Amino acid sequence: MSVAIRAARVEDVDDMRTLINEYARDDRMLERSRDFLLEHVRDFLVAEDERGFLGCCALAVLTPDLAEIRSLAVQPETAGRGIGRALVRACVAEARRLGLRRVFALTLVPDFFQKCGFVITSLGRLPEKSASECPVCPKRFACDEHAMLLHLDGTIPEPLSAGEPVGYTRLFLGVEPR
């Protein structure tokens, strides 16, 4: 079966919502409403094969320099076939096309993003995200996500210092995520 990555269409929104919210129920990613997905459908790519929808991923541009990979989800029965990496690669290619310099993801699966070439960093080094969106995120009191960063010019982001807090809750609220 050959896997294709393409821009999402409105007819994909229900598949995207079902998959994302299945993982959200297990607290593995943020829930997304149908209205949100429709409004942001132009940010999304989907993976499909001859049998249909396999996964999705969004690239959200935050500043002229920085974009975020969001809502990456692959159907559990097709995990491990390289579909997640193909979606991330396509988002990175789109970020390059747009002229961005950095791409990051907030994630509970840092090892997966490391395999995609990202380097672990701290949310404290991404104020474009932590100052604007994190303070109103429903998970701000329970955030222990890792920030993973890729520089598109090939330079390596500065490594995390020993003991440096990674998630929003510890970093900005000074408490343990609950």
Ligand X SMILES: CC(C)(COP(=O)(O)OP(=O)(O)OC[C@H]1O[C@@H](n2cnc3c(N)ncnc32)[C@H](O)[C@@H]1OP(=O)(O)O)[C@@H](O)C(=O)NCCC(=O)NCCS
Which parts of this chain interact with ligand X (CB under 6 A)? 23, 28-29, 72-74, 79-85, 105, 107-109, 111-112, 115
Of residues 59 and 83, the one with the C-beta less far from ligand X: 83
- Compare residues 9 and 28 and give the one whose CB is closer to ligand X: 28
| Residue among 117 and 157 whose Cβ is closer to ligand X | 117
Question: Which residues fall within 8 angstroms of residue 85, CB to CB, at 6 or more apart?
Answer: 115, 116
- Residue number of the CB atom closest to ligand X: 84
CB of 135 to ligand X, least distance (A): 20
CA distances 75 to 18, 69, 128, Å, are 10, 18, 31
CA distance 98 to 109: 26
Quote the least distance from Cβ 82 to ligand X, whole Å: 4
Q: Which residue has the tokens 């999402």?
A: 8
Smallest distance from ligand X to CB 71, Å: 7
Could you give the CA distance from residue 88 to residue 107 in angstroms, rounded to a whole number? 13
Shortest Å distance, C-beta 79 to ligand X: 4
Q: Quick one: 104 or 153, whose CB is closer to ligand X?
A: 104
Helix and strand totals (H; E) in the chain: 6, 7
